[in-house]
């Protein structure tokens, strides 16, 4: 055997080539050091494939048993850290296949009957991602429950609600937090929907055209707990829309995390002083000893850009590819893996951080008092007295203008002063102008009244149980 043949012996396509792959190309094209995390999915998919081959009479019972023994040993070696991942073998699939052949001989070579690395990798990624989605669903539940706990304790805590970052109307702090619970609930729904399309079997599509072997693809799908079989062999091996769709759902989760992060950062600042975060989620300054910086929310806000960037990268990766499989698709894994890792770490830390939020209700209430947050309540009061809303809006605007000039809250104006703006105003207006009265008045489904907040808390607890 020549030196070139010896150098090429490890490659699955070696017989065709007259010279070995250069070291530079080998490093450039290899994926084993990031796609080795697919090893469990690769073994699971291979075992299901082998079982089907044996059932179809394509693989002997002896070879099937040998493959099962070999895969059990490989699993043990990987779990114990004894498995040798080789760059020469390019990816996780060839590394496992080569080791299997070392252990069981020809049976290891027969395992690849009726499949290609094209449908093998598509299957592995789908199996792996399905498991990650299941973990993400649990983490989304944990974060929602942490926010629900804080919301329940603050069903009556008054927070200034903002529009345009201007004080608008008083809301319950618990109501505000439940808005994020709604967002994360929709995120969980999207993940469940994505999972259904991820959970389809490409195996059996082979390289691109199917195979001449009498495979039972539905049997493999059942063995792997997959809900359907990819119906077109070209599509099965070439598209990564399931990964793009997952990345889009993940990007939306991170956008919601980023919005919550922005509010936590604002609320913790001295200008607001509404909350405090536990020390373990913050850092100090190397020069300013008084500083307590909300590093975790700030970093999560930054990491949202990272995940959105991965989504854009995957879309760009796919947009120019002709059918069927192209080597471009090797580039789907690192952004997908990093998206999963970033999302899981973020959700895990946010659930713990949210549970430890210290609320400062006095600061929140003082801020609500500064912004004439009950002005709309006064307008509604006048409407109930028979004044058209547009006219009521104008009357209250004059009242607010006067109160601003005197640096007084609307509730601090006397009854006579208020009646000067409209004679319909009576003594009962002061309940309307109170922050608590404003909160309680919004006793409608989806409103901020404390009993509505508690009802929503109960609904979420039942949903998340």
Residues catalogued as catalytic: 164, 285
Among 132, 99, 98, 130, smallest CA distance to 199 is for 130
DSSP state of 374: T
Among 369, 382, 393, smallest CA distance to 432 is for 382
Question: Is the distance from CB of 343 to CB of 254 less than 8 angstroms?
Answer: yes
Measured between alpha carbons, how far is 89 from 11 in angstroms, rounded to an integer?
7
Among 176, 160, 157, smallest CA distance to 168 is for 160
Angle at 224 between CA 343 and CA 48, to 5 degrees: 125
Q: How many residues does the chain have?
A: 465
In order, the DSSP letters of 294-331 are -HHHHHHHHHHHHHHHHHHHHHHHHHTPPSS--GGGGG
The phi, psi pair for 392, rounded to 5°, reads -60, -40
Measured between alpha carbons, how far is 134 from 152 in angstroms, rounded to an integer?
27
Measured between alpha carbons, how far is 140 from 16 in angstroms, rounded to an integer?
50
Among 457, 433, 454, smallest CA distance to 443 is for 454
b/e string for 22-31 if b means 16 or more Cβ within 10 A? eeeeeeeebb
Question: Is the distance from CB of 132 to CB of 344 less than 8 angstroms?
Answer: yes
Measured between alpha carbons, how far is 115 from 335 in angstroms, rounded to an integer?
26
């Amino acid at each position: 055997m020549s030196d070139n043949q010896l150098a090429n012996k490890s490659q699955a396509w070696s017989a065709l080539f007259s010279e070995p792959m250069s070291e530079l190309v080998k490093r450039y094209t290899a994926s084993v050091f990031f796609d080795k995390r697919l090893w469990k999915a690769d073994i699971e998919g291979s075992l299901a494939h082998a079982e089907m081959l044996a059932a179809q009479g394509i693989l002997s019972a002896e070879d099937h048993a040998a493959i099962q023994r070999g895969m059990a040993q490989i699993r043990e070696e990987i779990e114990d850290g004894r498995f040798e991942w080789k760059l020469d073998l390019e990816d996780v699939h060839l590394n496992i296949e080569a080791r299997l052949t070392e252990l069981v001989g020809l049976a290891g070579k027969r395992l690849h009957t009726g499949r290609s690395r094209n449908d093998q990798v598509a299957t592995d990624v789908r199996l792996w991602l399905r498991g990650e989605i299941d973990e993400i669903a649990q983490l989304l539940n944990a974060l929602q429950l942490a926010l629900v706990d804080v919301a329940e304790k603050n069903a009556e805590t008054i927070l200034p609600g903002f529009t345009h970052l201007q004080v608008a109307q008083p809301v319950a702090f618990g109501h505000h937090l439940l808005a994020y619970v709604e967002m994360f609930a929709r995120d969980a729904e999207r993940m469940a929907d994505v999972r259904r399309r991820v959970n389809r079997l490409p195996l059996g599509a082979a390289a691109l055209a199917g195979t001449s072997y009498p495979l039972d693809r539905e049997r493999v799908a059942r063995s792997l707990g997959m809900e359907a079989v990819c119906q077109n062999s070209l599509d099965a091996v070439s598209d990564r829309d399931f990964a793009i769709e997952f990345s889009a759902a993940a990007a939306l989760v991170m956008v919601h995390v980023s919005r919550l992060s922005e509010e936590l950062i604002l609320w913790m600042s001295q200008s607001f002083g509404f909350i405090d975060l536990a020390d373990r989620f913050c850092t100090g300054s190397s020069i300013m000893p008084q500083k307590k910086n909300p590093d975790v929310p700030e970093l999560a806000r930054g990491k949202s850009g990272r995940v959105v960037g991965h989504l854009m990268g995957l879309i760009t990766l796919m947009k120019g590819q002709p059918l069927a499989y192209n080597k471009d698709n090797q580039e789907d894994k690192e952004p997908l893996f990093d998206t999963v890792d970033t999302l899981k770490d973020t959700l895990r830390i946010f659930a713990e951080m949210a549970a430890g939020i210290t609320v400062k209700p006095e600061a929140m209430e003082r801020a609500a008092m500064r912004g004439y947050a009950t002005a709309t309540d006064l307008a509604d009061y006048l409407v109930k007295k028979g004044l058209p809303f547009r006219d009521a809006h104008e009357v209250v605007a004059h009242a607010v203008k006067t109160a601003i000039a005197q640096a007084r809250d609307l509730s601090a104006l006397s009854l006579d002063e208020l009646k000067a703006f409209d004679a319909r105003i009576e003594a009962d207006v002061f309940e309307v102008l109170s922050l608590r009265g404003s909160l309680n008045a919004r006793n409608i489904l989806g409103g901020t009244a404390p009993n509505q907040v508690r009802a929503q808390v109960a609904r979420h607890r039942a949903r998340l149980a």
